[in-house]
């Protein structure tokens, strides 16, 4: 029986037994996005060779390289671990038909970034065929759904409290109508259900009103 880790450095060994089960479970939980030709999925150890080959080569100059293989590993695990810590990270982009790894799309925060960054790195064979644009566009749309609405909801309670403290009305129908129109437009651009987006915003508005009432009572 061939040992799959025979030619790998110790930290690059493929997970086995219960570790392999855990890795598969985590991978399946990450967002899986389909484009016309590709699939964006969570990265696996088997993808590291493709990642390393790119960032070790001259192509790595686009991400502060070229790197050593050890440096490539540090980047790979950092971008992968970001899924668990921040809910966003590195996608592997593979061909829908033959499962060839074409490259990677990144959504995340690196040190010094003032806001989330969207980036991509593709193999030389995949270059010039529109794969990067196709995949990055879908990743951007997913980011709007997964991150922007979450950030908006995070501040809901404080908005209601501030309105109450400054004797402001709990709702602003004109402003809310404009928000719903903008949210509907963004949802349609992102291939999301605009009705869901409107319901979500209405839910946030009702939360603001509720916290406004609680702070006044």
What does DSSP say about strands 38-41 and 90-95: parallel, antiparallel, or unpaired? antiparallel
What total number of domains does the chain contain?
A: 2
pLDDT band at residue 80 using 50, 70 and 90 as cut-offs: very high
CATH number, domain containing residue 197: 1.20.59.10
Residues 34 and 103 in one domain: yes
Task: Report if pTM > 0.75.
Answer: no
pLDDT for residue 177 is more than 70: yes
Out of 62-66, 121-125, 166-170, the most confident range is 121-125
Mean pLDDT of 22-26: 85
* Residue numbers of the domain that contains 105: 29-131
Do the domain assignments include residue 5?
no
Residue finishing a domain among 116, 131, 146: 131
Predicted confidence (pLDDT) at residue 190 exceeds the cutoff of 80: no
Per residue in 97-149, pLDDT (tens digit) is 999 999 999 988 777 776 778 889 999 999 999 999 999 988 888 776 655 54
- Whether 195 and 159 map to the same domain: the answer is yes
């Amino acid at each position: 029986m061939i040992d799959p880790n025979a030619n790998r450095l110790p930290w690059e060994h493929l997970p086995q037994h219960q570790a392999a089960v855990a890795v598969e479970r985590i991978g399946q939980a990450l967002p899986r996005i389909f484009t016309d030709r590709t699939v964006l999925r969570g990265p696996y150890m088997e993808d590291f060779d493709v990642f390393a080959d790119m960032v070790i080569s001259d192509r790595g100059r686009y991400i502060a390289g070229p790197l050593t293989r050890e440096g490539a590993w540090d980047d790979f695990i950092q971008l992968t671990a970001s899924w668990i810590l921040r809910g966003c990270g590195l996608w592997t982009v593979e061909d829908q038909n033959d499962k060839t790894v074409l490259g990677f799309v990144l959504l995340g925060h690196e040190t010094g970034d003032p806001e989330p960054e969207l980036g991509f790195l593709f193999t030389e064979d995949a270059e010039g065929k529109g794969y990067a644009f196709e995949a990055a566009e879908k990743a951007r749309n997913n980011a709007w759904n997964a991150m922007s609405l979450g950030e908006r909801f995070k501040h809901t309670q404080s908005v209601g409290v501030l309105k109450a403290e400054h004797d402001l009305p709990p709702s602003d129908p004109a402003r809310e109508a404009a928000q719903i129109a903008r949210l509907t437009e963004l949802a349609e651009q992102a291939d999301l259900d605009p009705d869901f987006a409107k319901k979500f915003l209405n839910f946030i508005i009702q939360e603001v009103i509720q916290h406004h009432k609680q702070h006044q009572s």
